[in-house]
């Protein structure tokens, strides 16, 4: 038996981008910080474009530790939600339109979050990627790394534990 014909690439991309956009745009604090997500397949890179209001030390100047922590936490939660929803997005079960209308899926909740500040955050764009070290039915452990000009010289990293939302079935 012949396998079904693969979907056209535009349709696949459109569905994934719509799901990601809906997930990110629904959270006011992500918009407040101006964080965006760059997607390559299922891999996400969080981008926080530099803005004056992210400054914590105006003399250096350097990014605020709280802005860095928030950036890492946003990257972790969206990364975890994305991987949690991926199968639904791929099967078409995930309804991005409903999300845009304000019906957000339940997001993971932060239990604890530990940030290591490795060097001061420069007044430039920052990038981050999350790695899910464990994702169980109830708990997940996520590591996030953030860098600016050089990926090999991260300026902050974090590990957090999350409570997964109760899912049907």
Partner 1 sequence: MDRKKIAEQFIGAIPHSKALGMELIEITDGAAEIAMAYDPRFVGDPESGVIHGGAVSALMDTCCGTAVMSHPTSPGGTATIDLRIDYMRPATPGQKITARAHCYHITRSVAFVRATAMDEDEDKPVATATGTFTVQGAA
Site residues, partner 1 (CB under 8 A): 26-33, 52-58, 62-67, 69-71, 73-74, 77, 102, 104, 106-107, 109-117, 120
Cβ proximity to partner 1: between 32 and 139 the closer is 32
How far apart are CB 72 and partner 1 at their closest, in Å? 8
How far, CA to CA in Å, does 135 sit from each of 26, 41, 96, 142?
23, 20, 23, 8
Within 8 A by CB and 6+ apart from 19, the residues are 85, 89, 94, 96, 99
Quick check: 60 and 97 in contact, CB under 8 A? no
How far apart are CB 109 and partner 1 at their closest, in Å? 7
How far apart are CB 11 and partner 1 at their closest, in Å? 28
How far apart are CB 84 and partner 1 at their closest, in Å? 15
Cβ proximity to partner 1: between 119 and 131 the closer is 119
Cβ proximity to partner 1: between 14 and 114 the closer is 114
Q: What angle do CA 94, 99, 104 make, to 5 degrees?
A: 95
d(CA 33, CA 54): 8
């Amino acid at each position: 038996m012949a396998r079904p014909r693969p979907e056209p690439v535009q349709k696949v991309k459109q569905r994934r981008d719509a799901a990601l956009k809906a997930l990110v745009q629904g959270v006011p604090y992500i918009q407040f910080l101006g964080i965006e997500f760059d997607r390559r397949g299922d891999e996400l890179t969080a981008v926080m474009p530099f803005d004056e209001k992210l400054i914590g030390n105006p003399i250096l100047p350097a990014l605020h530790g709280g802005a860095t922590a928030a950036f890492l936490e946003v990257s972790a939660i969206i990364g975890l939600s994305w991987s949690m929803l991926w199968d639904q997005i791929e099967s078409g079960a995930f309804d991005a339109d409903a999300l845009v209308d304000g019906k957000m899926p339940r997001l993971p909740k932060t239990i604890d979050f530990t940030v290591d500040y490795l060097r001061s955050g420069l007044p430039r764009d920052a990038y981050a990627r999350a790695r899910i070290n464990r994702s169980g039915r109830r708990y997940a452990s996520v590591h996030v790394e953030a860098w600016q000009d050089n990926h090999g010289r991260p300026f902050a990293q974090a590990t957090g534990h999350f409570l997964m939302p109760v899912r049907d079935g």
